[in-house]
A and B are shown apart, each in its own frame.
Chain A
């Protein structure tokens, strides 16, 4: 069955609305996500036969490219396939030095820029991680590239291309975006007599449902607060904000947004005290609580779009082979909106296009590499290639392709529908709130929920570090 193109159009409309929503906030503009879905299967075959046409390509150029499409990244093989096709088409060579996007990788990228050994093309985060090399003028803005190559990234909606927090210019050409929402184990909901939450889900309903689930002998929420409190942190704060002001870091706990931050932490503490998190939530790792969710021991899981495939993998007898998917097991999982409280609507999601392709100054200044680098990025962000990466996620494409539901599993289709009903996408404020400032409320979450540190003190300490940082 083919999903109507209308859905895709609606999604684009939703994103247009969200653009306005994300305009404010600390001059560190939030990016927004195009919720359009794209098909993969048939198009994969098509694109394999017909490579996208890009501007130009001179043979014999060797490009050093670093991306995060490596290791367990779901797009590692897709990336490899397309850069090899580009090599074949142009006669150029890609020296691929991609690695998993962890702290070591980030350090490597920063060090490479510091020591002048940066790559020619880099697929990297567009948040605060990129501030240093943008500030140092070591990458070229899209605007500057367009001065010479007017069609560069012209297939993408400029409004959805995130701007740098350094100078409010766009540098990274995005491919695929992310969203965060609440996954649900419907089997537990049925056993506890709880209805599937919808678009108008409130915090009160949520806590009532949690109690029912707990009374039925299950763990209501799968979360490792001692390891990854990030999603709860983000939404608990967002609950007291709106998409317009969510990306504003408060100056203190006394201002309106600051009070919301404290209230958000208090809400998590209340959930902990009510016993809605796993008993070992302070000592467990994220993968342990995720296993609780997939094994039918916990009902709700707050996580990101990347977990759609993770849940499907958990329903496969061979995690690497989608053909071994137990469709009946997967049908017991659903995805919905995070319960709302005083500020945002439940349908206001966290999400965005958080990474993209940069062309470095080193490549731009090299007459041999300039055209090849532009051509490579244009190819990898073309209308044909982007859908292969974005899959059921989001992208910034102007021409949203039709969606063929046949190539998606049930949870992916549910995700598409959930995203279709969203009213806005806002970037995570934690991307602004990095490093040491996070410690009191992220790593300090166990202290907050156990009461050894008050939410006020923890939030204020984090804000003090944030605002006193002159780095």
Chain B
């Protein structure tokens, strides 16, 4: 018998089966059921569709004419750009700076990573207080420095900024840790050799660090883009129902709004299908652009 036991692959399938069943039951079946539901009339949450919509694709034509869908797609796109530059960009900057200090690097790592461990809902409530109109921290500070009129940070003019700032801030630490790990893998000898050749610190970063971090940055960007499509709890806590004037909807929050608040469940299903398609398309584009290199 001996080593032959490893050639028998059958037990492997047995061990894979529970996970496979789990995926079927909780991911693939609901996904395909969701596609069917998006074409049916559903009375209310928790009930199944009994009759088909007329025409069956009516929810999809509605997607094309719904102004809020356009708003949510536009905002999601902005959120994607913000996450790429705001999260990965700032994380890279912070990581490079921390990499260049001799003492206290661990403290900064902990400090920057800390927001990740706080729930997004709690952060939403926290930033709600910070941006509060009447007694919010920022308006109090502005008043202290002599400003007469309060700023409504959640008004149409400022809403996107107020919503995206905490989202950006929360995940900087996550990418920071990934990039710092990547930086630690770059050999010190390369920097020493460059220094002997007379390269400035900036040049060393540009010609050594950034190229060698390419794959790490690609991973970060892919994670950031796919993550931006899933952002939900913090924006919903701060700006429920797309407040104000439905200007802050993201694809996720709009789907939730239609399903849970408006209770147009089948239209919510159609929005979910749209989000999946958007996710697949965007991640393929990002993967094509930020292809990892073999060194």
Contacts and interface: CB of A to CB of B under 8 A. Distances in A.
A291 interface: yes
A227 B46 contact: no
Interface string A119-135: 00000000000001000
Contact of B240 (A114, A227, A279): A227
A439 B262 contact: yes
Interface stretch (A69-77, A239-247, A280-288): A280-288
Contact of B44 (A108, A110, A279): A110
Interface in A267-291: 278-280, 282-285, 288, 291
Interface stretch (A17-25, A150-158, A354-362, A442-450): A442-450
Contact of B134 (A110, A292, A435): A292
A104 to B, nearest CB: 8
A291 B261 contact: no
A283 B44 CA distance: 29
A107 B245 CA distance: 27
A279 B46 contact: no
Interface in B122-181: 128, 132-135, 150, 152, 154-156, 159
Given A283-B244, A443-B246, A446-B244, A110 B45 contact: yes
Interface residues of B, number: 29
B261 A226 contact: no
A227 B243 contact: yes
Contacts of B45: 103, 106-107, 110-111
Interface string A426-463: 00000000111001000100110010100000000000
B48 interface: yes
Contacts of A195: none
B99 to A, nearest CB: 41
A147 interface: no
A471 interface: yes
Contact of B48 (A114, A284, A292, A450): A114
B204 interface: no
B211 to A, nearest CB: 46
Contacts of B244: 226, 282-283, 446
Contacts of A446: 244-245
Contact of B133 (A108, A110, A279): A279
B233 interface: no
Contacts of A282: 155, 243-245
A284 B262 contact: no
Contacts of B128: 285
5 contacts: A114-B47, A282-B155, A434-B263, A436-B264, A443-B261
